[in-house]
Structure 1
Amino acid sequence: MNAMDQLLSRVSTDRLHEPAPTAAQLEQCVAAALRAPDHGYLRPWRYGVVTGEARAQLAERVVASLLRVDPAAPQAAQDKRRQRFSTMPMTLVLGMRLRPDHKIPVWEQEMTVAAGVMNLLNALHAQGFGAIWVSGPPAQDPVLAAELGFAAPDRLAGFVFVGTPETPLPAHPRPDATSVMADWQGGPLSFAADRG
């Protein structure tokens, strides 16, 4: 499959089983992530790798985070997070090492992290692995972030679940590319996607 076919066939999935990438495969995927644009060369990407027995420990911290944010969280929500985080073949903790004191705005640093995650997802797909980027309340919890090594001003950008897809992944429908493209003619841009 050529590079363009790879990009056009990537989909997110959490229907994953073993094996997860080897250390060498993951290192290559992270190397691809580090090719993302990085204004100021601040290198804000951080990837924590969680496998084996550490998955259950992370799951308990995520559930504790959920309960900090919402003490009345239903048991089903707690169980779902505990199950997902403890059984995925590999979880990557996405950290953002931010420099609010730098001339490069924090929002650009965050975009660098996001671009890196997209490169990572594409690289995992190119190696035959499945993945999904998840966020939600735990990614916004400064206590959990600090427990994982990202005390303020650093933050979490979420988590990536990684493994081998259970089945061939069907392509999810996406909008026609032309619906989100418009030629600028000097005034406000108008897109077909916005005209419904």
Structure 2
Amino acid sequence: MDSITVLHKRVSSPKLTAPGPTVEQRDAIYRSALRAADHGLMQPWRFLVIEREGLDRLGELFVQASLHDNPELSQAEQQSLKTKPHRAPLILVAIAACRQHPKIPHVEQLLSAGAAVQNMLNAAFAQGVGAFWRTGAMAYHPVVTEGLGLGQLEQVVGFLYLGTPAKPPHEPKSVNPEAFFHPWPAQ
């Protein structure tokens, strides 16, 4: 699939199964992250690769975080949280590894980490690997961020779920660029 087609047709695959991406596919996905827009070449990102027993440990971390907020969490709710990471055989936790810099503000570093995730989504789609980007409360919960080993200026920008699409990707909705791109100054 050529690059423009990938950019125009990419959609998320919300239902994923095993197997996860091959070693070669992972390498292409990982390398694409490292080509994201990056003011000052700061490489303000890092990624945790979670699979197999790591998925179980992440689920346990989600339960710990939720119990911290609600000690009355039911067993059914706890079980649901434990299984959330198993929605895919591989999860990449994308972390904005921001640093103090006199010319490159935190927000630019955060956006760069987000651009790295978008590059990985595109690389996955181009290779037929299913992917979806999730955040939600667990991405920002202090129990989760501490459990994942995040530093003071770091934050999770997303959980990138990767696997084999359970069904073929749907055709994306047509969107009119004129609804979003406007001349300035206005005519």
Provide the TM-score with structure 2 as the length reference. Answer: 0.89
Question: Whole-Å Cα distance in 1 between the matches of residues 44 and 74 of structure 2?
Answer: 35
1:33-182, aligned counterparts within 5 Å? 33-71=33-71, 77-182=77-182
Question: Whole-Å Cα distance in 2 between the matches of residues 74 and 14 of structure 1?
Answer: 26
Gaps of 5+ in 2: none
State the structure with bigger RCO (CA 8 A, min sep 6), 1 or 2: 2
Q: State the one-letter code of the partner of 1:46.
A: R
Q: Does the 8 Å CA contact 1:138/1:144 hold for their aligned counterparts?
A: yes
Are 1:7 and 2:41 matched, yes or no? Answer: no
Displacement of 1:40: 1.5
Question: Whole-Å Cα distance in 2 between the matches of residues 72 and 5 of structure 1?
Answer: 49
Q: Does the 8 Å CA contact 2:9/2:172 hold for their aligned counterparts?
A: no
Question: Whole-Å Cα distance in 1 between the matches of residues 77 and 94 of structure 2?
Answer: 22
Indicate the larger mover: 153-162 or 112-121: 153-162
Alpha carbons of 1:33 and 1:104: their partners in 2 closer, same or farther (altered >3 Å)?
same
Alpha carbons of 1:138 and 1:178: their partners in 2 closer, same or farther (altered >3 Å)?
same
Q: State the number of aligned residues.
A: 187
Q: State the one-letter code of the partner of 1:56.
A: D
Indicate the larger mover: 85-94 or 30-39: 85-94
Q: Does the 8 Å CA contact 1:18/1:163 hold for their aligned counterparts?
A: yes
Q: State the one-letter code of the partner of 1:182.
A: H
Q: Does the 8 Å CA contact 1:66/1:137 hold for their aligned counterparts?
A: no
Question: Whole-Å Cα distance in 2 between the matches of residues 74 and 13 of structure 1?
Answer: 30
Indicate the larger mover: 26-35 or 65-74: 65-74
Q: Secondary structure of 1:21's match?
A: coil
Q: State the one-letter code of the partner of 1:25.
A: Q
Indicate the larger mover: 67-76 or 123-132: 67-76
Q: Does the 8 Å CA contact 1:63/1:82 hold for their aligned counterparts?
A: yes
Q: State the one-letter code of the partner of 2:150.
A: F
Q: Secondary structure of 2:47's match?
A: strand
Alpha carbons of 1:15 and 1:87: their partners in 2 closer, same or farther (altered >3 Å)?
closer
Displacement of 1:160: 0.8
Counterpart position of 1:27: 27
Displacement of 1:82: 2.1
Deviation by residue 1:28-84 (Cα, 9 ceiling, x = unmatched):
211111111111111111111111122111111022223334556666654433222
RMSD: 2.1
Question: Whole-Å Cα distance in 1 between the matches of residues 117 and 105 of structure 2?
Answer: 19
Question: Whole-Å Cα distance in 1 between the matches of residues 74 and 111 of structure 2?
Answer: 33
Gaps of 5+ in 1: 188-196
